[in-house]
Every structure is written in structure tokens, then in C-alpha cells.
Amino acid sequence: MISAWESLHHATLELVRSTPIKQRLISAYRRHLAGLEEEQLPLEVRATYGQIMGCLRGVQPLRGEDAVSASVRKMSMQEADDCAALIVEIFGLMSRASATPNRVVQLHAVEIAPEYSAPALIASN
């Protein structure tokens, strides 16, 4: 079973893609947040998470769509931005809460296509 932290981490990664914000919100919910229950979260973020879920599932859908699609469709761009920011904020709070001085974070290298490589800089005085 995937942890709450992992679900929020993946949802946050979904929110930084280059697609429109409303599409990113729907994707983050469907792929990573749909199965995350409030009880899996620390007490201090449950109310905010409930608020996010209310925003993402609060509108009665039209025929052929689900509540998330309907809710996000009805959002203004500012509301969509605010909802995404709350998701990232919860992830940040959970990350800080779980951080310990001895925690090791493994970073992964990103492959850069050769046409995007930058020449080495040479300093001269």
C-alpha cells in the first residue's frame, strides 16, 4: 500500500507538469489522491485535506462526467491555483514533519539530451 506521503509527493509532481492547471488537478486527483483517506493523514492537515476534497468533488456532475471533472470545470483559474497550492502545502508540512536529522534522500540524475548540453564555462582574470 502506498503511503500518504508518497501519494501527496506524486500528486505534487503531477501539479508541476506543463499542462493546464485544471488538467493537472484532475490528473493529480485521479492518479494519486482518489484513494487517500483523511485518516491516513496527520491530524493537523486533515481539515485542509477535507477542504481540498470538497473543492474537487463538490459539484454535481453533468451526464457523462464525474464529480471531479465537474468541480474543476466550474473552478476559476484562481480557485484551481489555490487548490493546487493547498496540495503542495500539505505535502510540504508532511515532509517537514517526517524529516529527521539522519534521513538520507536519494536524488536521481536526469538525462539531458545532447542538443541541450551547455558548454563548460572558463573563468579568466
Domain total in the chain:
1
Closest CA relative to residue 8, chosen from 30, 26, 24, 28: 28
Instruction: Give CA–CA dist 75/55, Å, rounded.
Output: 9
Determine, yes or no, domain membership for 45: yes
In the 8-state DSSP scheme, what is residue 83? H
Determine, yes or no, domain membership for 47: yes
- pLDDT-derived band at 114 (thresholds 50, 70, 90) equals low
pLDDT in tens, 67-106: 999 999 999 999 999 999 999 999 999 888 776 555 555 6
Instruction: Give CA–CA dist 46/124, Å, rounded.
Output: 55
Determine, yes or no, domain membership for 107: no
Determine, yes or no, domain membership for 58: yes
For 83-98, b where at least 16 C-beta lie within 10 A, e where not — what string? bbebbeebbebbeeee
For the cut 60, the answer to whether the pLDDT of residue 123 exceeds it is: no
Which amino acid belongs to residue 66? D
Q: What percent of the chain has pLDDT over 90?
A: 70
Determine, yes or no, domain membership for 73: yes
Determine, yes or no, domain membership for 34: yes
Determine, yes or no, domain membership for 30: yes
Instruction: Give the range of the structural domain holding residue 12, as residue numbers without chain letter.
Output: 4-98
Determine, yes or no, domain membership for 124: no
State residue 97's pLDDT score.
78
Q: pTM for this structure?
A: 0.76
